[in-house]
Amino acid sequence: MKELSKLLNYRSDVRVVDATLRDGGLVNNFYFTEEFIRALYLANIKAGVDYMEFGYKADKEMFDVNKFGACKFCDDDFIRTIVGDNNTDLKIAVMADVGRCNYKNDIHDRTESPVDLIRVATYLHQIPTAVDMIEDAKSKGYEVSCNIMAISNAQESDVKVALDILGQSPVDVFYIVDSFGSLYPEQIARISDMYLDFAAKYNKKVGIHAHNNQQLAFANTIEAVGDGVDWLDATYASMGRGAGNCAMELLLGFLKNPKYQVAPILKIIEEYTHKFKAEGVKWGYDIPYLLTGQYNTHPRPAIQFVKEDRQDYYKFSNELYDIINS
């Protein structure tokens, strides 16, 4: 059982990362208005959020710029139209997927960019390339984190090898990522201990990015912070791929640091986020996402189920079983 002081007090080294534009952009192809992005930016400043992730640094040779909004590509000039010189305490982040980012050319020197943090996203088999991306970003002057995705279906021994390799790189933070929303708090506790052991060995920080397939994104995040994880991802109204993520309004309400304020989050949800759903943008807990979470598999079939407005959950459960066991 955790010490009460860990839940009633706060650690000044905790960092909250708003991933609304990046993970949320996966449900509307990143078509956010500049008005919304600017309002979100100002709300994060008022709420005391530490980092705002603007989206992906996607390769324009791989993705058609006419089929996605600006946050899919996060050009420096576009970010500047929102933040200017960003003379605030809020830092700016972007995500770079291994194999989907022309990082040598598209990530410029930190002195030429409004971005502070590069978040490298990788699967275990891509770790060598991830390390190259980390070294490239560090050499250009950025803070760098690394998200190891889909660890719920990875061998623990493989995760340990990856953490040891990353520990020897110049990365600042490595992330626990429950990509499929399949992990439970008891598992998060053990995984957090494993990550923190490597973080202590190599003087790194640990973060968590949770998905809400089983309505455990918030529970898993506060479990992790109670275990000593410092970097916490969240999104406004849980907006994110499939079932969504840890809700920012829940997380800031839980954290005891007086710098964090929930009211600016609620204002954005009231004025913008609810309208997205009214316009047909779909995310959030639903039975098909629960099932992919329980089966510990990618939510792709569930996303398609929801897009088709299906309600035949029992049939979908059988279909999913056949897919997994085929």
In whole angstroms, what is the distance from residue 39 CA to residue 42 CA? 5
In whole angstroms, what is the distance from residue 27 CA to residue 30 CA? 8
Q: Give residue-wise pLDDT tens across range 124-182.
A: 999 999 999 999 999 999 999 999 999 999 999 999 999 999 999 999 999 999 999 99
Note whether 154 and 124 are within 8 A (CB).
yes
Nearest alpha carbon to residue 113 among 90, 93, 139, 134: 93
Crossing angle of helices 34-47 and 76-83, rounded to 10°: 60
Length of the chain: 326
Half-sphere exposure of 79 toward its Cβ, with a 13 Å CA cutoff?
24
Q: How far is CA 215 from the centre of its chain?
A: 16
In whole angstroms, what is the distance from residue 86 CA to residue 110 CA? 14
Note whether 236 and 18 are within 8 A (CB).
yes
pLDDT of residue 326: 82
For the chain, give the mean pLDDT. Answer: 96
Q: Give residue-wise pLDDT tens across range 75-134.
A: 999 999 999 999 999 999 999 999 999 999 999 999 999 999 999 999 999 999 999 999
CA angle, 8 then 11 then 13, to 5°:
160
Nearest alpha carbon to residue 209 among 60, 16, 67: 16
3-state SS, 49-70, equals CCEEEEEECCCCCCCCHHHCCH
Every domain range in the chain assigned CATH 3.20.20.70: 10-278
pLDDT of residue 10: 83
Note whether 213 and 289 are within 8 A (CB).
yes
pTM over 0.75: yes
Q: Tell me which CATH homologous superfamily contains domain 10-278.
A: Aldolase class I (3.20.20.70)
Note whether 40 and 20 are within 8 A (CB).
yes
Crossing angle of helices 127-139 and 156-167, rounded to 10°: 20
Note whether 11 and 37 are within 8 A (CB).
no
| Stretch 256-275: mean pLDDT | 96
Q: Give residue-wise pLDDT tens across range 213-222.
A: 999 999 999 9
Residue recorded with tokens 């995760």: 159
In whole angstroms, what is the distance from residue 187 CA to residue 184 CA? 5
pLDDT of residue 1: 57
